[in-house]
Every structure is written in C-alpha cells, then in structure tokens.
Amino acid sequence: MELSPLFLSAKLALISTVILLTVAAPLTYWLVYYPVRGKFMIESLISLPMVLPPTVLGFFLLVAMGPQGVIGRFWENLTGSGLVFTFTGIVIAAMAHSLPYAFQPLKTAFERVDKRLLEAAYVLGCSRRAAFFRVVLPNTVSGLAAAAILAFAHTMGEFGVILMVGGSIPGKTKVASIAIYEYVEALRYKEAWLLSLALVSISYLILLAVNFLNRSKAHEA
C-alpha cells in the first residue's frame, strides 16, 4: 500500500487547520465583539459550505482559482504560478470548506467569555487587540481545541472539493480519501481497507489526545 496519500492528507489537514485558525479566530472575534453591519449575512455566508454539495463549492473554487478567476489571477501576479491542481490550491479549498466547522465552536466559545472581563481589561489600559490575545484566547482554549479538531478531522476526510480543485496528482494533490476512492474503483479492496483503517485510527488518536488534554485542563482549573 502506498502511504504518501495518507501523509499528504495529514500535511494538508495540519497546514490548513493552522492557517484556518489564524484567520478564523480574529474573524470570529470581530463578528462577536464588534458592532458589525449585516452580521447575520456574513455568518450565513461563512456557514454556506456546510450545506452546499462539495462539488458545487469545488466548482466555484475551481472557477475562482483558475487562470481567469479573481483568486487565481491575484495569486499568479503575486507568485508567478497558478493555484489549480497544486497543493497550495487544495490548502485554500480545504480552508474554505472547513471554515464553518471552525467558526461555530469558536463563536460559541467567544460568546461564553464574560464580557465584563473584557471591560475590566479595557479599564486596565488593555487595547481591544491586546484583550483578544490576553483575555479572550486564554479563556477559550477548549473552543480553540474543538475548532482545530473539527477542522482537522474534516480536512482529513475531505474528498469532493479537493478532487474538483486539485484533481488526483500523486504526491501533490492525491490525498487519502481520493486514493481510497481510486482503490475501490480499481477493485483493490485490501488497500482501500488498510488506508481506511489508518484514517480511522489517526482520527481516533487525535480525538483521544484532545479529550485527554481537555480533562487535564479541567482538573487544573
């Protein structure tokens, strides 16, 4: 059995989760704590990938990231290379598809932070940005962990969007779920079984580790 799709999936999930959290946490903070006009419209837009068929989202992303698309042209001007059928392209696609899965737990966690703590921080001279790092983030560790797990797990099993944007290029865009699909199509059930079991084990171990960390944190408090 070829292991590279499994490593590629893990690499994709790790990179996209880290970048996604860096983007999603301030975005969610802004939506929760600032008086934003049309907040519900923005939130609905963020949640849209949850209800869209992956092929539809994948199609839009393919068009947007293509040579004539807004994102594709911007990227090409910036780096000189395209996005479609590249690893960078599938990182962006995975982030777009996982955004609502990170956004929801982050939003719940941020809303639970006692707003009086933020006011106390402001009165103590702390700016809004500093309050995000010094008060909000340390008090939303479990929400951040939940967002990271959901985004990571979701990306590990991502199929439709990645196939649309990245195709199936071995070593570049052929992730585990696409490899499993191809094994099944070629009636290579043994490889499909092994890769599927490996995916299940990795996902389960991650969940175990995070639950263990959460329990230790709860005992500490």
Taking the complex as a whole, how short is the minimal distance between the CB of residue 151 and other proteins, in angstroms?
23
Contacts of 16 (CB under 8 A, 6+ apart): 91, 94, 95, 98, 151, 155
- Among 95, 72, 98, 96, residue whose Cα is nearest residue 85: 72
Phi, psi of 192 (to 5 degrees): -60, -45
Nearer to other proteins, 136 or 175 (CB): 136
Please check whether residue 93 is in contact with residue 61, taking contact to mean a CB–CB distance below 8 angstroms.
yes
For the chain, give me the number of helices (H) and strands (E)? 11, 0
Round the CA-based radius of gyration of the chain to a whole number and report it.
19
Taking the complex as a whole, how short is the minimal distance between the CB of residue 197 and other proteins, in angstroms?
39
Nearer to other proteins, 16 or 140 (CB): 140
Taking the complex as a whole, how short is the minimal distance between the CB of residue 108 and other proteins, in angstroms?
18
Other C-beta atoms within 10 Å of 129: how many?
10
Alpha helices in 132-175 (DSSP H): 141-156, 160-166
221 binds other proteins (CB under 8 A): yes
Taking the complex as a whole, how short is the minimal distance between the CB of residue 33 and other proteins, in angstroms?
14
Taking the complex as a whole, how short is the minimal distance between the CB of residue 68 and other proteins, in angstroms?
46
Nearer to other proteins, 55 or 214 (CB): 214
Q: How far is CA 141 from the centre of its chain?
A: 17
Q: Using CB under 8 A, which of the segments 6-14, 39-47, 99-107, 109-117 binds other proteins?
A: 109-117
Kindly report the three-state secondary structure assignment for every residue of 6-39: HHHHHHHHHHHHHHHHHHHHHHHHHHHHCCCCCH
Taking the complex as a whole, how short is the minimal distance between the CB of residue 121 and other proteins, in angstroms?
7
Nearer to other proteins, 2 or 111 (CB): 111
What is the footprint of other proteins within residues 110-149 (CB under 8 A)?
114, 116-117, 119-127, 134-135, 138-139
Residue count at the site for other proteins (CB under 8 A)?
A: 17
Q: Which residues bind other proteins (CB under 8 A)?
A: 114, 116-117, 119-127, 134-135, 138-139, 221
